Amino acid sequence: MTESRVDSGYAWVRLVAAMVIGTIGGVGMWSPVVVVPAVQAEFGIARADAALPYTLTMIGFVFGTVLMGRLADKRGITTPLLIATVVMSAGYAAASFASNVWIFAIISGIAIAMLGSAALFAPLLADTSLWFEKRRGLAIALCASGNYVAGTIWPPVLEHFIAEVGWRQTHLYTGLFCLVTMLPLALILRPKPPLLKPATEAAAAAGFLRPLGLHPNVIQACIVIMGLCCCVAMSMPQVHIVAYCVDLGYGPARGAEMLSLMLGFGIISRLASGYILDRIGGLKTLLLGSTLQMLALALYLPFDGLMSLYIISAVFGLVQGGIVPSYAFIVRELFPAGQAGFRVSLAISSTLAGMALGGWMSGRIYDLTGSYQAALLNGIAFNLVNVLIAVWLLTRQSGLRRVAGATVSAA
């Protein structure tokens, strides 16, 4: 019989399964990026129209993440995983027969993203957090690393098959691969998470009524704003580093190498952040990562040499990878376990919205100014908002702990 206990051996088995699911299912975020040139060439459309599938994919992720998170709270994680696997696989098969870019984009946004891959990141993070206490930060970080591993593995794999058999056959094979591999993995996660002990649950419920002395929705709004702002900043180099290298005369291949370097060091960062989360907590880890990200972003302003950009890109990846997992950890610190799926998913969806908004804003600012300098400053300004909110919440947390400590001492 499966051992359904927090921090048990089975909890680690679940974590491994979740990481593999996140890595496989992460193809839904990256395939619309890789397929742009092939779709543009086949349909004879402009580059902006060819990017439409990616735009709808990001919109689908934002809404699908919250939808699937709510479903996970009500029915457990297996139900959204099974739905996502079947719908996403069918979506890839249907996309391979798309007759124009609009049909392809709609399928990408709804079937592949909103009802598919969106269930395979934030809801998995929330579910993983329910199975760990002592190593919760490490578990969340490991689970979140699946998304970055997907970004490292899938683009070259997809590019290879698109070159060999075309984008249509590649989509068909991708859907089949997801169906065959992810269905059995989803079934591993069928057991429900263990319940808190009644005394612990009652004590926690009392503390969750006004986390940090604020209404829960105020805290959630702060988390959403922070997620949006930090990822507007994060998106600037991640979305535009290739174009930036082209402008500087280094060529797109160098930019692609820098992006790969960012994602690779981002995996290291996410793993390291798990260790840090378990020792200093969510808000402090978030403040540390966000402050370092802002400083790394500022380094792009004075330095634009080829070797400098490689080094800064590596540093940027190394400092920012732990920011997103921090939001899942903060939610579990401040809200009841029964709300984890919805609230973690809402927090993560705000980071996706920030990536989409930031990518567009940086491009728009570049169009207006002819330079990425203003776009970098814009990212730094948004990052500063994130830092200030984190400082404010930490100040409230420290104040409440001092009051609680004084009360205990007096008693």
> Residue 276 is encoded by which pair of tokens?
């840090």
pLDDT of residue 200: 42
Measured from the Cβ of residue 98, the count of other Cβ atoms closer than 10 Å reads 21
- Identify the residue whose tokens are 């728009």: 364
C-beta of residue 244 within 8 angstroms of C-beta of residue 236: no
pLDDT of residue 199: 40
| % of the chain residues with pLDDT over 70 | 92
C-beta of residue 133 within 8 angstroms of C-beta of residue 82: no
**H/E run at residue 316:** helix 306-320
Say how far apart CA 284 and CA 82 lie, in whole Å: 36
Does residue 251 come out as left (phi exceeding 0), alpha (psi in the -120 to 50 range) or beta? left
Residues 6+ apart with CB under 8 A from 242: 252, 255, 256, 258, 259
C-beta of residue 393 within 8 angstroms of C-beta of residue 212: yes
pLDDT of residue 407: 57
pLDDT of residue 33: 77
Report the amino acid identity of residue 65.
T
> Residue 118 is encoded by which pair of tokens?
């969106």
Say how far apart CA 391 and CA 410 lie, in whole Å: 29
- Its pTM stands at 0.85
279 CB-contact burial (10 Å; exposed 0-12 / middle 13-18 / buried 19+):
exposed
C-beta of residue 185 within 8 angstroms of C-beta of residue 73: no
Say how far apart CA 94 and CA 160 lie, in whole Å: 21
- Residue 5, φ and ψ in degrees, nearest 5: -130, 150
- Identify the residue whose tokens are 């990001």: 58
Say how far apart CA 58 and CA 324 lie, in whole Å: 16
pLDDT of residue 287: 96
pLDDT digits (tens, 9 = 90+) for 120-179: 999 999 999 999 988 999 999 999 998 888 888 888 888 889 889 999 999 999 999 999
Q: At what angle do helices 340-369 and 52-75 cross, to 10 degrees?
A: 160
pLDDT of residue 359: 83
Say how far apart CA 245 and CA 25 lie, in whole Å: 30
- The DSSP call for residue 130 is T
C-beta of residue 274 within 8 angstroms of C-beta of residue 353: no
Structural domains of the chain, ranges and CATH numbers in brackets: 1-190 (1.20.1250.20), 200-411 (1.20.1250.20)
Average confidence (pLDDT) per 10 residues, the chain, 411 residues = 72 95 92 83 80 84 92 93 96 95 93 94 93 92 89 85 92 96 94 62 53 90 96 89 88 84 87 92 95 96 94 93 92 89 94 88 88 93 97 89 59 54
Nearest C-alpha neighbor of 213 from the set 348, 405, 392: 392
- Identify the residue whose tokens are 């540390």: 288
Say how far apart CA 60 and CA 106 lie, in whole Å: 9
Nearest C-alpha neighbor of 252 from the set 264, 263, 244, 260: 244
Report the amino acid identity of residue 387.
V
Considering the chain, what is the average pLDDT of its residues?
Answer: 88
Say how far apart CA 92 and CA 174 lie, in whole Å: 7
Say how far apart CA 391 and CA 385 lie, in whole Å: 10
DSSP states along 200-218: HHHHHHHHHSSGGGS-HHH
Nearest C-alpha neighbor of 142 from the set 262, 26, 29, 267: 267
